[in-house]
Amino acid sequence: MPIQIGDTIPEVTLKHIHDGVRIIDTPTLFSGKKVLLFAVPGAFTPTCSEHHLPGYVERFDEFRKRGIDVACVAVNDPFVMQAWGESVDVPNGLQMLADGNAEFVRALGLEMDASAYGMGLRARRFALYAEDGVVRQLFVEAPGEFKVSSAEHVLAQIG
C-alpha cells in the first residue's frame, strides 16, 4: 500500500553529489525539519525538465521563507542528477537525490513500471510534505498528468 498522510518516511539511503558521491539516509534528510520532496519519472525527460523541476527552482525561495527544505528525487544515478541540476541552475540548497535502484520509491509504494518506454522501474510523479519525518501532505499525480505535484499547487496547499 502506498504511503499515506500520517505515515513516517521509511528508512532508506539515497545518494547525491557534494564533494564526491555522498550517501544520505532518510532520517537525516527528514528528522527535525520541514521537507518538501518531489519525485519525477526521470531526469532530462520533457515534462520533468520543462515544467516540474523549473517550477521548484523558480519558487525555491518561497519554500525557504516558510522554513521548508526542498529536494528532488528520481530513479537515476547521482551523476545524472547533478548534471540535470546544473543544466537548469538549481539553487544551492535544493537537493538533487538519486534513488538509483528505486529502493526509496518502492518503500513509499510510489513506483511505476516504465518498461514500455525503455525506462524500467521509475518513480511516479508526486510531491510530499513532511514534518519531522511524518507525511503531512501528499500529492500523487494520475498517470500522464502534471497538476497536483507542481510547485504552485503545493505552495497553495501547504499555506
Is residue 52 over pLDDT 90?
A: yes
Is residue 15 over pLDDT 90?
A: yes
Is residue 14 over pLDDT 80?
A: yes
Ordered by where they begin, the domains of the chain are 13-158 (3.40.30.10)
Q: What is the pLDDT of residue 128?
A: 97
| 21 three-state secondary structure | strand
Residues labelled as active-site residues: 48
Is residue 117 over pLDDT 90?
A: no
Centre a 10 Å sphere on the Cβ of residue 2 and count the other Cβ atoms it contains: 12
Q: What is the pLDDT of residue 10?
A: 98
State how far the Cα of 51 lies from the Cα of 127, in Å rounded to an integer.
14
State how far the Cα of 48 lies from the Cα of 28, in Å rounded to an integer.
26
Is residue 118 over pLDDT 80?
A: no
Please give the residue that has the higher pLDDT: either 47 or 74.
Answer: 74
The residue with cell 499547487 is 153
Average pLDDT over residues 10-26: 95
Quick one: 120 exposed, middle or buried, by C-beta within 10 A (0-12, 13-18, 19+)?
exposed
Q: How many CA atoms lie within 13 A of 38 on its CB side?
A: 31
pTM for the complete prediction?
0.94
Average pLDDT over residues 27-41: 97
Is 74:42 a contact under the CB 8 Å cutoff?
Answer: yes
Q: What is the pLDDT of residue 38?
A: 97
State how far the Cα of 15 lies from the Cα of 79, in Å rounded to an integer.
10
Q: What is the pLDDT of residue 29?
A: 97
Is residue 153 over pLDDT 90?
A: yes
Mean pLDDT for all residues in the chain = 94
- Which residues, 6+ apart, have CB-to-CB distance to 39 below 8 Å? 72, 73, 74, 105, 110, 123, 124, 125, 126, 127, 149
Average pLDDT over residues 131-146: 95
Average pLDDT over residues 49-65: 94
Q: What is the pLDDT of residue 154?
A: 97
